[in-house]
Amino acid sequence: MVDEDRDAVEKTVQGNREAFDVLVEKYYKKIYNLAYRFVGDREEANDLAQEIFTAAYKNLKKFRGDAKFSTWLFQIASNRGKNKFKYLKRRGHFANRWQSEEDDERDPLRSGIPDLSTNPETLLAGKQIQRIVQKAIDDLDPDHKEIVVLRDIEGFSYEEIARILNLPEGTTKSRLHRARMVVKEKLKKALS
Amino acid sequence: MNDCQRMSDLFGALHDEQLEGEIAESVRQHLSNCAECRDDFKWYGFTVHALAGLEKVSPPRDFLAQFRARVDAAQPVPFFESFRNILTLIPHIPLPVGVTALALMTVVGLSLYNYGPMYAVQTAASGYSSPKSETGPSAKGIVPLMARSHENTSASGMSPGAAYPFRAMPAAQDRIGTNMLTVESPSIDQAVESLKKILPDIQGKVLEEQNRQIGGTLLTVVIPLQAYGNLTTELVNHGAVAVGPRKDNSSSTVDPGAMRLHIHFVRSR
């Protein structure tokens, strides 16, 4: 397995802090986006993404190199994301956020089933749709959420997800299917 | 499990185009005949598109700078730096106050270390003036204290220091380290007499006695080296103050196993 990040990893482990900056620059947009999908809030997402990179930096010596650095990094991201999501949920973060937005929501799409024959990009570009989808993700349980984020939002392959989550590929697929079905029902309910 | 349920379980594979052959054909056949499943599959596809179509959220521009600052903050802080950080931890406390508080804590800590918790409790309970109060108006010089100490020592065979339950008293040489003590007493004569009375018991003797008009009485005694600890500790514990080493100008010599001790008796105020 070729890991193009190996050089930067080795230099960082040898004490070159700047070498780690290369890795941060390469992955921070993806990690931030993943963090945002876990917590649904820019400020919390920034905290979480910073926390993920800090954890990776501190634990880099434990990285054995038998997987790609990106797999290892997303493993950390996924674990931290799930934990942060659970923590925020316990504190009522999501309930409060959506409640305040629902109060002023006047969604034209709620008037009926969206016309799925129209261009999906046009339909999905609506701000309200984005919100509804994010809310549906927020309502997922952590295991479903992480798999939806990794596959459907971040675009990892089943093989990569199986490696990140340390699951058999078959389990990954069936779990993703169940998660999608849950989101589908939420969307159906919200948009019909 | 009915056909519709079975079809629904295959939506994922169908959407990802992972179904082949007969199974793929039977699913397509079912969808063309079942409006409900067809509609459901449309929603399934819409969901996958909706998830994939979520806008990418941009991180703050200074993300990397924030990260660098965070990592720098997590670096181990040099000892002196961490010391300064402790003192400036609470911004409302000025640095000098912090230093004073730390010095006070150090003194209390050292006292606890040297004398043991019981001594610290006794000291705290009676206050620093307690030794003086023993030699106050109601006390008769150092007589009762010395006598009690002497009785304890004789009766139990223990050193005065061993009377403290938690920790043996350190050698007085270590604590006092001087051959010159000042004792305050309301009655200098009685204090001098009481000391003279116990000297024979410790194989000590008076070498010189100087009566000073204003400055009280200066008693120079010779005592065995091994008695120095007990005697000076007892004197200090009852209010004597160690005033530093005094240079011996006397031409008379003492035995190698003995030492000269100067005790200055002054009237207490």
Asked if B43 lies within 8 A of A33 by C-beta distance, the reply is no
In a domain, A163, yes or no: yes
Pick the residue of A44, A173, A181 with the most B CBs within 10 A to test the interface with B by mutation. Answer: A181
Q: Which residues, including other chains, have CB under 8 Å from residue B86's CB and lie 6 or more apart?
A: B98, B102
> Tens place of pLDDT for every residue, chain A, 192 residues?
567 799 999 999 998 888 999 999 999 999 999 999 999 889 999 999 999 999 999 999 988 888 899 999 999 999 999 999 999 888 888 776 656 555 544 444 444 445 555 555 555 557 778 888 888 998 899 999 999 999 999 999 999 999 999 999 999 999 999 999 999 999 888 887
The residue of chain B nearest to residue A152, with distances taken between CA atoms, is B52
Tell me which of A42, A59, A92 is where a domain ends: A92
Taking the C-alpha atoms of residue A77 and residue A52, their distance in angstroms, rounded to an integer, is 6
> Is the same domain home to A112 and A185?
yes
> Is the same domain home to A85 and A150?
no
> Is the same domain home to A109 and A88?
no
Is B19 or A36 the better-scoring residue by pLDDT? A36
Chain A neighbours among B 32-61 (CB < 8 Å)? 40, 42-60
Taking the C-alpha atoms of residue B222 and residue A167, their distance in angstroms, rounded to an integer, is 88
Q: What is the pLDDT of residue B214?
A: 65
Q: Does B71 touch chain A (CB under 8 A)?
A: yes
Q: What is the pLDDT of residue B121?
A: 53
> Is the same domain home to A5 and A88?
yes
**Which two tokens mark B55?**
């806008």
> Is the same domain home to A175 and A112?
yes
pLDDT digits 0-9 by tens, B210-224: 887 667 888 888 888
In a domain, A99, yes or no: no
Q: What is the pLDDT of residue B120?
A: 53
Is A120 or B250 the better-scoring residue by pLDDT? B250
Taking the C-alpha atoms of residue B192 and residue B199, their distance in angstroms, rounded to an integer, is 11
Q: CB–CB of B187/B140 below 8 Å? A: yes
In a domain, A84, yes or no: yes
Q: What is the pLDDT of residue B143?
A: 40
Q: What is the pLDDT of residue B55?
A: 87
Q: CB–CB of B214/B246 below 8 Å? A: no
> Is the same domain home to A22 and A80?
yes
Taking the C-alpha atoms of residue B176 and residue B110, their distance in angstroms, rounded to an integer, is 15
**Which two tokens mark B227?**
């008695």
In a domain, A19, yes or no: yes
Mean pLDDT of the residues in chain B: 73
Chain A hits for B66, CB-CB cut-off 8 Å, are 46, 50
Q: Does the pLDDT value for residue B32 go beyond 60?
A: yes
Q: CB–CB of B261/B228 below 8 Å? A: yes
In a domain, A4, yes or no: yes
Q: CB–CB of A140/A182 below 8 Å? A: yes
Instruction: Kindly report the three-state secondary structure assignment for every residue of chain A.
Output: CCCCCHHHHHHHHCCCHHHHHHHHHHHHHHHHHHHHHHHCCHHHHHHHHHHHHHHHHHCHHHCCCCCCHHHHHHHHHHHHHHHHHHHHHHCCHHHHHHHHHHHCCCCHHHHCCCCCCCCHHHHHCCHHHHHHHHHHHHCCCHHHHHHHHHHHHCCCCHHHHHHHHCCCHHHHHHHHHHHHHHHHHHHHHHHC
Asked if A184 lies within 8 A of B47 by C-beta distance, the reply is yes
pLDDT digits 0-9 by tens, B73-85: 877 666 665 666 5
Lowest mean pLDDT among B50-64, B119-133, B252-266: B119-133
Number of domains in chain A: 2
Q: How far apart are the first and last CA of chain A?
A: 47
Taking the C-alpha atoms of residue A16 and residue B136, their distance in angstroms, rounded to an integer, is 71
Q: What is the DSSP letter of B166?
A: S
Q: Which residues, including other chains, have CB under 8 Å from residue B233's CB and lie 6 or more apart?
A: B160, B161, B169, B172, B175, B176
Going by pLDDT thresholds of 50, 70 and 90, the confidence category of residue B154 is very low
Tally A–B CB contacts below 8 A.
Answer: 100
In a domain, A97, yes or no: no
pTM metric for this prediction: 0.55
Helix or strand run (H / E) with residue B183 = strand B180-185
**Which two tokens mark B212?**
């000073």
> Is the same domain home to A17 and A76?
yes
Q: What is the DSSP letter of B161?
A: G
The domain that contains A172 carries what CATH number?
A: 1.10.10.10
> What's the domain range around A3?
1-92
> Is the same domain home to A75 and A116?
no
Tell me which of A92, A126, A149 is where a domain ends: A92
Q: CB–CB of B238/B134 below 8 Å? A: yes
HSE (CB half, 13 Å, CA atoms) of B213? Answer: 0
> Is the same domain home to A77 and A143?
no
In a domain, A154, yes or no: yes
Residue B16: strand, helix, or coil: coil
The domain that contains A36 carries what CATH number?
A: 1.10.1740.10
Instruction: Kindly report the three-state secondary structure assignment for every residue of B105-120.
Output: HHHHHHHHHHHHHHHH
Q: How many CB atoms lie within 10 A of CB B8?
A: 19
> Is the same domain home to A115 and A182?
yes
Helices A169-191 and B35-52 cross at an angle (nearest 10°) of 100
Average pLDDT for B106-119: 76
